[in-house]
Amino acid sequence: MSDMLKVIEILAESDQSWEDAAAKAVEHASKTLHGIKSLYIKNMEAKVEDNKIVKYRINGQISFLLD
């Protein structure tokens, strides 16, 4: 029998980079989900203040194994 996966949408942000925001999303999700298989980043966005990026944001989907 094939594995069954579920996909959830997540939002995450970082003051370092989009990569850090993605890593934080997976790290946080792994506290309540097990069997995470992938993160698909749908959108990237940045918050700007005084002509500088202050927050990097991602909107993505995490897929994980169902029991």
The DSSP result for 37-60, as a single string, is EEEEEEEEEEEEETTEEEEEEEEE
**Structure tokens that stand for 27 in this block:** 């790290």
Architecture of domain 5-65: 2-Layer Sandwich (3.30)
| pTM of the shown model | 0.86
Contact 16, 46 (CB under 8 A): no
Q: Residue-wise pLDDT tens for the chain (67 aa)?
A: 578 999 999 999 999 999 999 999 999 999 999 999 999 999 999 999 999 999 999 999 999 999 8
**Structure tokens that stand for 52 in this block:** 């500088």
User: Which sequence spans correspond to the domains of the chain?
Assistant: 5-65
**Structure tokens that stand for 17 in this block:** 């980079």
